[in-house]
Amino acid sequence: MSRAKKGWKGVCCGVRRLVLASMIRLLVVDDHPPSRQKAVADLSAGDLIEIVGEAETSDEAFKLAKTLLPEIVLLDLHLPGLLSTPDLLRKLVGLPNVKVVIFASQSKASEVQDYLDAGASAYILKDDPPALLRMSLLMVHRGSQGIVSPDLPKNLLRLSSQERNFLKEIGKRGGIPKAAERMGLTEYDLNQILFHIADKLEIEGIEKLGKWAKKHGF
């Protein structure tokens, strides 16, 4: 082989190593094979993401993550296994330099902020376009937090944990009167709080707020 060819081969190998070094190392966790395979196929295209592993259960996910230390774990919800999703999320984000992106099949708005508060960097839906998923992973890799699917309510992240709890309470049996009783509040005080939440979400009135909360799973 000529020196020129050897030189070009060395350059190509160097470029290849540089590309691989800059790719996002991703572990895909999903117990539904068709969904997992589609995600792997969509994300493997191009030089942005390297799929370093796949898992089907919560236990397998943590074992692989602890061994491979991926930069991001793409995490489906409600996996089979001994670890619940909150426990698995807590263990994953406790690993060195591992970030988690929730990859959900349904847009249950009531739980989005809970997962973000627990350490997830993003909450993306499986129906979102592959380009949006890739962009979300890139943003998380670069340090962004609190990324959510555009199909989720735009004002959702404005709610505090306590405000989300109020919405969950009024959705239970007995409505506002019973919710006030359970929370140790007067009905008047709870109504004032709900008016504040409705205003924050740009919703007109408590009745519409209740319908919004029910629609989004609170």
pLDDT digits (tens, 9 = 90+) for 14-67: 434 444 457 999 999 999 999 999 999 999 988 899 999 999 999 999 999 999
Return the higher-pLDDT residue of 11 and 118. Answer: 118
Q: Say what the pLDDT of residue 99 is.
A: 97
pLDDT in tens, 189-204: 999 999 999 988 888 8
**8 Å CB contact between 72 and 137:** yes
Confidence tier at 217 by pLDDT (50, 70, 90): confident
Instruction: Give Cα 117 to chain centroid, integer Å.
Output: 11
Look at 124 and 164; give whichever has higher pLDDT.
124
For residue 11, pLDDT beyond 70: no
Domain boundaries, the chain: 23-152, 157-215
Nearest in space to 103 (alpha carbons), one of 190, 186, 39: 39
For the segment 171-194, the average pLDDT, to the nearest whole number, is 90
Long-range (24+ apart) CB contacts under 8 A made by 173-178 are 175/210, 176/206
185 pLDDT above the threshold of 70: yes
Note the pLDDT tens digit of each residue in 69-98.
999 999 999 899 999 999 999 999 999 999
The pLDDT of residue 161 is above 90: no
101 φ/ψ angles, rounded to the nearest 5 degrees: -115, 120
Can you tell me the mean pLDDT for 109-120?
A: 87
Class of domain 157-215: mainly alpha
pLDDT confidence of residue 45: 84
> 23-152 has which CATH code?
3.40.50.2300
Q: Which residue has the tokens 């099949």?
A: 105
d(CA 16, CA 27): 21
Burial of 12 per CB tally in 10 Å (0-12, 13-18, 19+): exposed
Which burial class, exposed, middle or buried, applies to 194 when counting CB atoms under 10 A from its CB (0-12, 13-18, 19+)?
buried
CB 115 within 8 A of CB 88: no
Give the pTM.
0.75
pLDDT tens digit sequence for 125-154: 999 999 999 999 999 999 999 899 988 876
Determine the pLDDT at residue 74: 98
